[in-house]
Structure 1
Amino acid sequence: MDIEDFKFIYWMEYAHRMWGRGLGVMFALPFTYFLRKGFITLRLGLRLSALFALGAGQGLIGWWMVKSGLEEPVSEYVQLKVSPYRLAAHLTSAFVIYCGLLWTAFSVVMPEPPAGSIAWVRGAAKIQRLALPVSFVVGITAVSGAFVAGNDAIGDTWIPNDIFSMEPLMRNFFENTSTVQLNHRILATATLLSIGSLWWATRKLDIHPAIRSLIGRTMGMAALQVTLGISTLLSYVPVSLGSANQAGALTLFTLVILLNYTVRRPSLTLLKSLPSVTKTP
């Protein structure tokens, strides 16, 4: 690494750090104002306080991650980089905070899920049993991408010969570039298949049109994300495609979180007011 490369990385890290601190200020100031004005309920205030604490913890995790990249390499032939474990922890924490913020925003903007009839509510309940495990698959796939980035994992074959070359065996799943890339490909395929199965299983259900549209959009985004991942790999990970792949993962994660929110059970008050079937004009 020459001095120009170091400067580029330094300023990128510095901008990221300042952006994180700025987000903390942008969160704390309006939160304090609305709290003092009494616009925030106790339950919402506790949730937002917890999210703010997680944000502060995310800064510490980020420092812990960057610190691993400043340690002296064991030899001159070893590339200096951050720990993939700490990178994955930093990404996981970011996704947890984002999920909490997103769910909180939905609860404020849309207190009740879309429900036009009892039949639609029953259909949404069936989707809910499928949507939650699908969300876990999407989240795990995204986190596995951090190990791909942290290990510079790339390969030329579908199943490499050296996937179990490290000892102990578990190290291969987190440090072996061939195994890490294979894991990510398998998880990405599982994500596409699980979302595709969700779409197929719900295509004939009597559900709210907004939920049906959301499932279709999620299916389309999953297909696009797999295409982005393949293109990134075949192009030897240019920054533009790598960034697009990360943005695609976040977009897909957003859609599955929104899906889980919209298929949750309505309040008892809303349920009592719903007709058994939807009236057609």
Structure 2
Amino acid sequence: MTHSPDIPAKTTKSHKAIRIWLGFVAAMIVCTLLVGGATRLTESGLSITEWKPVSGMMPPLSAQAWDAEFEAYKKIPQYREMNSGMSLSEFKTIFWWEWAHRLLARSIGVVFFLPFLFFLIRGGLDAALKRRLWVLFALGGLQGAVGWWMVKSGLSERVSVSQYRLAIHFLLALLIFSATVWTMRGLAPRVSRVAATARAALTSRILLGLIFLQLYFGALVAGLRAGKIYNTWPEIDGGFIPPLDQLFFEKPWWRNFFDSTLTVQFTHRMIAYTLFAVALYHLVDVIRTKAAPAAVRGAVWLMAAMSLQLVIGIFTLLHQVPISLGLLHQATAIVVLTLALLQTHRLQPGEPTMAQGLVPTFR
């Protein structure tokens, strides 16, 4: 990222409007993620058995339409094996969760594209920023396709969606959210970056990478319902580290990291401990090296959020993932990710820049 010393007021106002727009899009993504989490926890994700990108925005409006939706649901394995005998009223409950999730996702597309089209016509976007926004739009379209690909995996032979596809769907949503926040942050009217040691900058990036890895395994835990078993802490299956023959029961060995409830939950725990240790090291490092106050504050907030998330995760596990704690755990994970993004963005090795008050341009 470079900075221009002569940015006209019109461009500054345009960037402010873009930041507000992207901030609203990011907030909508968070809402969609949380509703998606509730959809998963209530086993509602397979209640709509067709993908209708346009007509699907309207819910059933008559008794006949509701009966048709319910009859379609009765044809899939989840109804036969898990919800046989479900009433229409009970079906409506799970239907509304999935419908709300899909409606929010579609709304993000509209809220993103219409202002984007306005900015394109108005001509307030430089070439690099325009490319970024086109990529975000394309990723949003891909996410819709991945969402249906995920749902489709649970309509014929399974009673739930594939944990692989669920994790990919979740991680792609987080990547879109992260790219949106990063782009918005880069358009700030004042330079938010501060000087830091190369070690502190590297550590912030390691933390961000570990958080994405942890979020991926969290999605696998959700997909396998692995949080509803091994509900003890700090022991898991009788010890802090389970026997190796139990951790690597599946053949080939690497499948255990995706299919074994024990191995997936154990890995999720170990990454959590690693994240806590690295975040603590990062905090101590920026304090010891007398980094800029913004860097120290960022490390403090990240450490605090990481600690809170660890506690919430333990309580969620001990209580076998009730909906309230499950959603709180997911919401706090998004907070941790956001703080890590901001910390990574503000830290750069080398000397501090003197461009405070200038608008960054992407190149």
| 8 Å contact from structure 1 (residues 225, 245) kept in 2 | yes
Secondary structure, aligned partner of 2:247:
coil
- The percent of aligned pairs where both chains have the same amino acid is 37
TM-score, with normalisation over the residues of structure 1?
0.86
Q: Deviations over 1:106-152 (max 9, x none)?
A: 0112562344xxxxx2x354421211111111110111000100001
In the TM superposition, 1:13-52 aligns within 5 A as: 13-52=98-137
Indicate how the Cα distance of structure 1 residues 110 and 204 shifts in structure 2: closer, same or farther if over 3 A, else same.
farther
Using the alignment, how far apart are the partners of 2:197 and 2:342 within structure 1? 13
In the TM superposition, 1:10-159 aligns within 5 A as: 10-73=95-158, 80-110=159-189, 112-115=191-194, 121=195, 123-153=196-226, 154-155=229-230, 156=232, 157=236, 158-159=240-241
| 8 Å contact from structure 1 (residues 112, 266) kept in 2 | no
Aligned length: 260
| 8 Å contact from structure 1 (residues 113, 264) kept in 2 | no
Partner residue in 1 for 2:93? 8
Q: CA RMSD in A?
A: 2.1
Secondary structure, aligned partner of 1:96:
helix
Partner residue in 2 for 1:118? none
Secondary structure, aligned partner of 1:264:
strand
Structure 2 unmatched ranges of 5 or more: 1-81, 356-363
Using the alignment, how far apart are the partners of 1:124 and 1:102 within structure 2? 24
Q: Deviations over 1:76-103 (max 9, x none)?
A: xxxx111000011001101111111010
Using the alignment, how far apart are the partners of 1:142 and 1:105 within structure 2? 22
TM-score, with normalisation over the residues of structure 2?
0.68
Q: Which amino acid aligns with 2:180?
A: L
Q: Which amino acid aligns with 1:224?
A: L
Partner residue in 1 for 2:58? none
Q: Deviations over 1:168-206 (max 9, x none)?
A: 211211111111110100011111111111111221222
Indicate how the Cα distance of structure 1 residues 202 and 185 shifts in structure 2: closer, same or farther if over 3 A, else same.
same
Q: Deviations over 1:50-89 (max 9, x none)?
A: 001001000111000111121234xxxxxx1110000110
Secondary structure, aligned partner of 2:332:
helix
Indicate how the Cα distance of structure 1 residues 262 and 269 shifts in structure 2: closer, same or farther if over 3 A, else same.
closer
Structure 1 unmatched ranges of 5 or more: 74-79, 116-120, 272-281
Secondary structure, aligned partner of 1:109:
coil
Using the alignment, how far apart are the partners of 1:267 and 1:55 within structure 2? 37
Using the alignment, how far apart are the partners of 1:265 and 1:113 within structure 2? 14
Using the alignment, how far apart are the partners of 2:203 and 2:287 within structure 1? 13
| 8 Å contact from structure 2 (residues 154, 161) kept in 1 | yes
Greater length-normalized contact order (CA 8 Å, ≥ 6 residues apart): 2
Q: What displacement does 1:9 show?
A: 2.9
Q: What displacement does 1:216 show?
A: 0.3
Q: Which amino acid aligns with 1:23?
A: I
**Match status 1:227 vs 2:311:** yes
In the TM superposition, 1:262-281 aligns within 5 A as: 262-264=346-348, 270=354
| 8 Å contact from structure 1 (residues 113, 266) kept in 2 | no
Using the alignment, how far apart are the partners of 1:147 and 1:184 within structure 2? 9
Using the alignment, how far apart are the partners of 2:118 and 2:345 within structure 1? 28
Q: Which amino acid aligns with 2:241?
A: I
Q: Which amino acid aligns with 1:167?
A: K
Partner residue in 2 for 1:204? 288
Partner residue in 2 for 1:176? 260
Q: Which amino acid aligns with 2:187?
A: V
| 8 Å contact from structure 2 (residues 193, 345) kept in 1 | no
